[in-house]
Amino acid sequence: MTALSPLTPPTVSRLPNVGTTIFSVMSALAAETGAVNLGQGFPDFECDPALVDAVTAAMKEGHNQYPPMPGVPALRQAMADKMLALYGHRCDPATEITVTAGATQAILTAILAVVHPGDEVIVLEPCYDSYVPNIELVGGVVVRVALTPGSFRPDFSAIEAAITPRTRALIINSPHNPSGQVWSEADMLALQDLLAPTNILLISDEVYEHMVFDGEQHQSAARFPGLASRAFIISSFGKTYHVTGWKVGTVIAPALLMSEFRKVHQFNVFTVNTPMQHALSAYLTNPAPYRDLPAFYQRKRDLFRDGLASTRFRLLPGQGTYFQCVGIEGLTVAERELPEADFCQWLTREIGVAAIPLSAFYGNGFDQRVIRFCFAKRDDTLQAALARLAKL
């Protein structure tokens, strides 16, 4: 009998067009070249030691087994209290709040819960890179609508034109990654009016909710009854408390939608890290850390923008998040203007600062000569980057 060679059976990819993300590519290049990494969006500084101590205390107190599937009750209650205090939105922690393994899992779970094969989901480009693959995984149809180039404001006439009888959901993100723009109260009211006569669901990605600058307020979908009644509202403790590696977030939705969300949640992660939930529930009772966050990041934004003002980059407005976009018009390499992606490669290798091309956030690679920096870094990291960028 002839022995058969080991064989890996062929498969048909569920995501044939997905490769390594631009964030992984640029971070690897930054590490390889010793560049200052202002590409991937995470802090290079530590969280409050009191939060780490709270995790240790929770573990020592024996909170090391499975918590309830929707999340530790004390954490859900703390989130309910916060939503009422900040946005005037009253929600039932028993039936309308679920703790998730970060915001990315929350987005995927919401889509799995309500989008069926053939349903259309509108995404506003440029957009976070998980939205489109999530929709494709469930057999949904991605409908791309561009935010206004340059200003990145919502174009409600274009959104309305994209709505069909098959539209199941719309995904919005404010404060917005990658542009740093923030939707206004007028924007949210316009969206509420647009969706009022429809059965379209809303997935509102609000992970940067506490990073809104210049005295402005975050306009959560929770503030608007006509939106809250049809929305999955997604938040991130990782973004708020500088612990992105913890991967803990929350989803708030009406009980009917949350019931469907939890059906999926219990089978894709079941539940979320227990001691961290207990630590966060205790930490969340003090509002100071998230109330102070706008001033904390605005100071970093201003430091970075002030430094960029003396470079050849064109500064774009940055109303929120911890990202700053700049135009690269007129910046040439060997007397020619490079596409965004090539420019970011050159910037990393030759100048020593990593950034992300905005074209990576568009399905068609739309190149408007804009790149994105992350300023969630120590001051010395930002100063080192600015010193290098001044050479341009």
| Ordered domains of the chain (ranges, CATH) | 22-41+291-389 (3.90.1150.10), 50-285 (3.40.640.10)
The reported pLDDT for the residue numbered 293 is 98
CA pair distance 123, 203, nearest whole angstrom: 10
Q: Is 208 exposed, middle or buried (0-12, 13-18, 19+ CB in 10 A)?
A: buried
Distance CA 200, CA 195 (A): 7
DSSP assignment string, 15-33: STT--S-HHHHHHHHHHHH
State residue 377 phi and psi, 5-degree precision. Answer: -135, 160
Kind and range of the H or E run holding 162: helix 156-162
* Pairing label, strands 356-357, 36-37: unpaired
Q: What is the 3-state secondary structure (H, E, C) of 168-199?
A: EEEEEECCCCCCCCCCCHHHHHHHHHHHCCCC
Specify the pLDDT at position 120.
98
pLDDT of residue 5: 78
Determine the pLDDT at residue 22: 86
pLDDT at 78: 98
118 sits in the region (left: phi over 0; alpha: psi -120 to 50; else beta) called left
Q: ω before 126 within 30° of 0 (cis)?
A: yes
* Residue type at 110 in one-letter notation: A
Phi, psi of 170 (to 5 degrees): -130, 135
First to last CA, the chain: 69
What per-residue confidence (pLDDT) applies to 1?
Answer: 58
Indicate the pairing of strand 97-100 with strand 141-146.
unpaired
pLDDT at 2: 66
- Cα separation, 83 vs 97, in Å, equals 11
> Tens-of-pLDDT digits for all 392 residues of the chain?
566 778 899 999 999 988 888 888 999 999 999 999 999 899 999 999 999 999 999 999 999 999 999 999 999 999 999 999 999 999 999 999 999 999 999 999 999 999 999 999 999 999 999 999 999 999 999 999 999 999 999 999 999 999 999 999 999 999 999 999 999 999 999 999 999 999 999 999 999 999 999 999 999 999 999 999 999 999 999 999 999 999 999 999 999 999 999 999 999 999 999 999 999 999 999 999 999 999 999 999 999 999 999 999 999 999 999 999 999 998 988 789 999 999 999 999 999 999 999 999 999 999 999 999 999 999 999 999 999 999 88
Q: Where does residue 340 fall: left (phi above 0), alpha (psi -120 to 50 degrees), or beta otherwise? A: alpha
Kindly give the pairing relationship between strand 370-374 and strand 356-357. Answer: antiparallel
pLDDT of residue 185: 98
Output the pLDDT for position 20: 81
pLDDT at 6: 86
Give the count of alpha carbons within 13 A of 310, CB side only: 11
